[in-house]
Amino acid sequence: MLGRRLAERPRQDAVVLGLPRGGVPVAAEVASILHAPLDVLVVRKLGAPGHAEFAIGAVGEDGARVLNDDAHLYADEAAIAEKTEREEAEVERRVVLFREGAPAAALDGRTAIVVDDGVATGATARAGCAIAKARGAASVVLAVPVAAPDSLQSIPSDEVVCLSAPAGFMAVGMHYFDFPQTSDAEVVALLRAARN
């Protein structure tokens, strides 16, 4: 559905960029429908102490880091620094794993379509869009099936394509019939197939 919505408006020289892990299967479908190249933008959420799934910010490739406005309500500076260091190391590991030595897709002057499986706090989407802009994308489009309405306001993109932003949003997984954890192996296989 997301791919068909994006196809309604042709975008010149588009590159589809999945946010791992869950965004990559969605991005692969979108790339297939748009007949566009697929790559990954590696980002990692910074989880709140004791609540790892609740993002207080995110880090990503090229040293990207965003913090939610309320991050310091959940963690002090030392805890944020420790989580940042740990997640930055994981970003580096995943870049090597997912790209398998291939260079990152060239974005200079192109339309970057940043895809995730959904947006809760928006931290990883903000980091992904910031990376795409920093890499020279002429236009950045955030494309997601579902999102918390308030979180969409904070995304630094030129356009947002979202199929559903329901009032009372609680969690991305609640909007899927089947929401299994995507494995590293699945991400690698999808990216490898797109490169061949």
Q: Which domains does the chain have, with CATH numbers?
A: 2-195 (3.40.50.2020)
pLDDT in tens, 27-62: 999 999 999 999 999 999 999 888 887 889 999 999
Answer with the residue of higher pLDDT: 64 or 52.
64
Mean pLDDT throughout 106-130?
93
Residue 154 and residue 156: Cα distance in Å, rounded? Answer: 6
Give the mean pLDDT of the chain: 92
Answer with the residue of higher pLDDT: 170 or 30.
30
pLDDT exceeds 90 at position 171: no
Please tell me the predicted confidence (pLDDT) of residue 173.
Answer: 67
pLDDT in tens, 70-115: 888 889 999 999 999 999 999 999 999 999 999 999 999 999 999 9
Please tell me the predicted confidence (pLDDT) of residue 51.
Answer: 83
Residue 37 and residue 58: Cα distance in Å, rounded? Answer: 25
Answer with the residue of higher pLDDT: 62 or 174.
62
Estimate the crossing angle of helix 23-34 against helix 184-195, to 10 degrees. 20
Residue 84 and residue 139: Cα distance in Å, rounded? Answer: 28
pLDDT in tens, 13-29: 999 999 999 999 999 99
Mean pLDDT throughout 120-132?
92
pLDDT exceeds 90 at position 194: yes
Please tell me the predicted confidence (pLDDT) of residue 145.
Answer: 94
C-alpha pair distances (Å), 191 with each of 28, 41, 155, 177? 8, 12, 25, 24
C-alpha pair distances (Å), 69 with each of 47, 75, 111, 122, 186? 14, 12, 28, 11, 33
- Contact between 27 and 38 under an 8 Å Cβ cutoff? The reply is yes
